[in-house]
């Protein structure tokens, strides 16, 4: 095999597919990126058997063939090459020469025939969203998935398609994040749970361009994302997702309208006194026209008041400040509505059309003097 391409194209392609290379594996071939120049295009492929990514890069194929190269070594080499044309040439013993200007590397690869290609997916059942929309939806929900594998469903996000609406849901047992978006067309109803790792990696690759689309295909066990000459194939998480609607309520005793920026900055300041791993709640005391926020830790204490509009009863409630910050950071509205029932019930941050809903469970607290 022999091919020639620009360093920038090669680096971009290697960086994209590297996101599917596992950190730890007993199969050394999975630590490789396959360079496949056996057809008309130069394809780069990585696959950890749960997530696979394939991308096509521009370049000239002088001699057809394929080679599997260690992903970390390849990425490190390409990053450090001069910004010029790169030639990759292999021989029958899988020795691979990577040349750019006066720099020449020789590394040993593996047979491309040993590599696991992406599973072949019948691309029939699909939806279309813009790259901007998908990137935003992931950003606004991914923080509340669980990183604990004890409940696999909590490590993924629910994609719930109903007509022209896509609802994306994540939860970790302490909070729920929901985003609803309008699709361009009507689609058959479908619910799938997509691994959080897949969505995290895709959001890093997406350009965020509102004028460019992502085609999302579904099968019984896989989901496929196609965009920018890149294909991402991921296994779905099997099982029935949690009955979210039973956890949501429109009832409330207290409604607070507040500046998102003021509330976020206030809670952010309060966390200066909380050491990492220290589970100190922020206590919120809601009265007419005023919200007082207090925090008390081994380092010291802090309290601050911000102006609000309040409907309903006075209330004092405690929250994990990190959970509040995570939700507030991804809301774009200047003014937000917070709905509360009592100090033991979850609070809801939601807009009037319920395009976003953030449910946060309160925590017990002792009153700060």
DSSP of 262-317, one letter per residue? HHHHHHHHHGGGS-TT--PPEEEEEETTEEEEEEE-SS-EEEEEEE-EEEE--EEE
Given a cut of 50, is residue 368 above it in pLDDT? no
User: How many angstroms separate the Cα of 287 from the Cα of each of 101, 212, 255, 321, 335?
Assistant: 70, 47, 11, 20, 18
In the prediction, which pLDDT does 367 show?
A: 66
Burial 337-352 (b: 16+ CB within 10 A, else e): bbbbbeeebbbbbbee
Pick the CATH number of 2-114 from 3.40.50.300, 3.40.50.2000, 3.10.150.10, 3.30.70.120: 3.10.150.10
Asked whether residue 366 carries a pLDDT value surpassing 80, the answer given is no
C-beta of residue 278 within 8 angstroms of C-beta of residue 297 = yes
**Which structure tokens are listed for 242?**
């949690």
Overall average pLDDT of the 291-295 stretch: 95
Is the pLDDT at 270 greater than 80? The verdict is yes
Q: What pTM was computed for the model? A: 0.93
| Beta carbons of 226 and 214 less than 8 angstroms apart | yes
Percent of the chain with pLDDT over 90: 85
Report the candidate in 287, 318, 292 with the shortest Cα–Cα distance to residue 304. Answer: 292
Over residues 222-240, the mean pLDDT reads 95
pLDDT digits (tens, 9 = 90+) for 61-83: 999 999 999 999 999 999 999 99
Q: How far is 105 from 96, CA to CA, in rounded Å?
A: 8
- Residues 113-130 have pLDDT tens digits of 889 888 888 888 889 999
Q: Which two tokens stand for residue 104?
A: 């020449």
Question: 126-245: what CATH class?
Answer: alpha beta
Closest of 178, 175, 340, 318 to residue 251, by C-alpha:
340
**CB contact at 8 A, 346 and 359:** yes
Note whether 133 and 209 are within 8 A (CB).
no
Task: Compute how many other C-beta atoms are within 10 angstroms of the C-beta atom of residue 132.
Answer: 17
- 76's CB contacts (< 8 A; 6+ apart) are none
Give residue-wise pLDDT tens across range 79-124: 999 999 999 999 999 999 999 999 999 999 999 888 988 888 888 8
Residue pair 118/222 in contact (Cβ under 8 Å)? The answer is: no
CA nearest neighbour of 363 among 279, 300, 301, 290: 279
Nearest to 131 by CA among 206, 199, 183: 206
Q: Which residues contact 268 (CB under 8 A, 6 or more apart)?
A: 325
Neighbours of 54 (CB within 10 A): 23
- Per-residue confidence (pLDDT) for residue 123, from 0 to 100: 82
Which CATH number applies to 249-360: 3.10.150.10, 1.25.40.10, 3.40.50.300, 3.30.230.10? 3.10.150.10
Q: Percent of the chain scored above 70 by pLDDT?
A: 99
Angle between helices 321-329 and 260-270 (to 10 degrees): 140
pLDDT digits (tens, 9 = 90+) for 38-54: 999 999 999 999 999 99
Average model confidence (pLDDT) across the chain? 94
With beta carbons less than 8 A apart as the criterion, state whether 181 and 137 touch: yes
As a whole number of angstroms, the distance between CA 235 and CA 154 comes to 15
Ranges of CATH 3.10.150.10 domains, the chain: 2-114, 126-245, 249-360
d(CA 126, CA 138): 18
Q: Are 333 and 351 in contact (CB under 8 A)?
A: yes
């Amino acid at each position: 095999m022999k091919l020639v391409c620009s360093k920038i194209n090669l680096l971009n392609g290697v960086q994209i597919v590297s996101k599917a290379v596992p950190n730890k594996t007993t199969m050394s071939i999975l630590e490789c990126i396959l360079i496949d120049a056996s057809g008309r295009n130069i394809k780069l492929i990585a696959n950890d058997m749960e997530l696979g990514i394939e991308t096509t890069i521009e370049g000239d194929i002088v001699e057809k063939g394929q080679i599997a190269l260690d992903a970390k070594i390849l990425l490190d080499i390409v990053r450090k090459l001069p910004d010029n044309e790169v030639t990759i040439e292999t021989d029958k013993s899988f020795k691979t020469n990577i040349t750019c200007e006066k720099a020449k590397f020789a590394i040993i690869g593996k047979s491309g025939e040993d590599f696991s290609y992406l599973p072949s997916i019948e691309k029939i059942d699909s939806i279309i969203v813009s790259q901007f929309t998908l990137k935003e939806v992931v950003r606004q929900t991914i923080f509340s998935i669980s990183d604990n594998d004890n409940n696999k469903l909590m490590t993924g996000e629910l994609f719930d398609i109903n007509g022209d609406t896509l609802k994306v849901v994540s939860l970790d047992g302490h909070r729920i994040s929901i985003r609803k978006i309008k699709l361009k067309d009507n689609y058959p109803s479908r619910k799938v749970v997509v691994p959080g790792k897949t969505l995290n990696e895709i959001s890093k690759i997406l350009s965020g361009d509102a004028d460019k689309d992502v085609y999302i295909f579904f099968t019984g066990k896989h989901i496929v994302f196609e965009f920018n000459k890149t294909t991402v194939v991921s296994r779905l998480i099997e099982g029935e997702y949690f009955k979210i609607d039973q956890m949501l309520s429109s009832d409330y005793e207290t409604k607070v309208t507040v500046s998102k920026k003021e509330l976020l900055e206030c809670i952010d300041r309060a966390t200066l006194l909380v050491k990492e791993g220290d589970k100190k709640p922020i206590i919120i005391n809601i009265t007419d026209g005023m919200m007082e926020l207090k925090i008390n830790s081994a380092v010291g204490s802090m309290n601050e008041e911000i102006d609000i509009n309040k409907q309903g009863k006075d209330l004092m409630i405690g929250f994990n400040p990190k959970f509040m910050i995570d939700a507030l950071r991804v809301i774009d509205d200047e003014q937000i509505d917070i709905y509360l029932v009592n100090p033991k019930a979850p609070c809801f941050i939601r807009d009037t059309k319920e395009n976003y809903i953030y449910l946060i469970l309160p925590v017990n607290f002792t009153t700060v003097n």
